[in-house]
Structure 1
Amino acid sequence: MAARSIWNGTLTFGTVAIPVKLFSATESRGLAFREVRASDGARIQHKRIGVESGEELAFKDLEKAYDTGTGQIVLTKEELSAADGPRPKVIEIEHFVEGEEIDPVFYDKPYHLGARDGGAHAYRVLLAALEQSGRVGIGRFVLRSREQLVALRPLHGALGLQTMRFHDELVPADEMELTTPKKDPSAREVRMAGKLVAMLADEWDPDEHRDTYREAVMEMIEAKRRGETPQLPEREDEGDDDLLAALEASLAGDGEGAGRAEKGSGSKAKAKSKSKAKGKG
């Protein structure tokens, strides 16, 4: 079944306008749960109840209010809609920057862009230009009644549009209670940690990573469906704080994580070495 676009509009840069459609590039695989009463499993529902009156309120009667600290300011749906600006159906690319200049922490949700009727050629030209230049378009558009800062870049052989966080949405490290080391690491610790990093080095392969939490919950659900009592594993000890001992054990292959990584990395390393040998031959 073909995915349906969630937004149709126009992508602009300079005086160029390309009719486009927007698709979500991700799909939630989270488990959906119902809230029920523990004693008998009866389903429940949530209602909008007025705090002062105790009456149930209809959605059409609701508006949004901003708490100023000394009171609240109510904004109507029409007033909030006006904040979208005069061009709510346009993705305006303002400038292009080097992709490597953008810290990944600024990226948020990814989308795919497709061309609508009359925009296929210009779409392909822009995609090729971005692939060759390594640049990322920075602009903004309105999605679900909120203006979004966005990055336009090649994604999986097509144009990708990724919403971004504004700079004031990032919490500076100096505002957090981060642990400050009481002493500098020893040269031996750094050397051993570097060796462990090298031992666990591998190529990024998204297919190797699974949602083990979802799998564990589904196993419990299936066990209960069969009328069985799920077997809950015991929590593992966190271990001690002897860093050198932990590094030595990992380098010796005693650590479970190191063992698994070594196994995967070893097979890939052998494949790489065979490939290089064939190339030389």
Structure 2
Amino acid sequence: MGPRHSLLEQIGADIVRFQEATAEFDAAVGEVLALGRAELVCLAQLHFGGPTPLSAVARGTDVARLELAGYVRRESAGSGTRLVLTGHAREWIETLWGPFRTDGFQLMSSLPDADLKVIAGFLTSARAVQDRHASRVAKLLQAPGGSRAARRRGGLSAAALHRVQLFIEAHLARTIRVEELAQRSGLSVFYFTRAFRQSTGMTPHAFVQQRRVERARELLLRTSRSLGDIALEVGFSSQSHFTTVFRRLTGLTPAVLRRGGG
């Protein structure tokens, strides 16, 4: 393996790591704003492109959710309606993306013009390659028995299941809607529910209940907190509801477990 081949492999690996870091950053921003990927794309579209006709908003965007959060508003535009960013959204965009943009600009500004031209040319060519292969993969979705059909017959991908599980662990203390879980898998609620059951052997609701009971079991054995506090900590609406579900899944009440009965 020559030096050039090694360098190309290193660049390829660095590009993948950059993409992963970008995805993680976007995911963190989505958590802060309580938005999914489609909604983040919509905010970027409005931020860089200005007011946008409702018909041209990114596919799959939950416009009502953006309005409810105070990030966009509708306004009449001729015979149609367009979306406009609110001041609230612009403040968040500046807070979350502003420092990133500033650091990136400073990094690029340190390079000579010749290097910047090479980078610009490479990115243009790379984008063309990306578009070509995105089109190739999209065509598979239109073919009989393509990847979408195969995915629907099976379970979630490992990455999608991991995203869903992480979200559940981070939000056990509050109500978790199946729509939120489906959004993180990239599937509709109907297909997500079926795929999740295929992957885990249980419904999303049953899985969440099981994780709540497992978390409660840890707290019962490791802490002296009251049963009521633990019930709220793991997302049950009351101590009685907590006791009912805990006994159904473990065969013991929380009090009996704490006394050493299990």
User: Greater helix share, 1 or 2?
Assistant: 2
Query: With structure 1 as the length reference, what TM-score do the two structures score?
Result: 0.20
Query: With structure 2 as the length reference, what TM-score do the two structures score?
Result: 0.21
Which structure would you say has the larger Rg? 1
Q: Which has the higher contact order (CA 8 A, sep 6+)?
A: 1
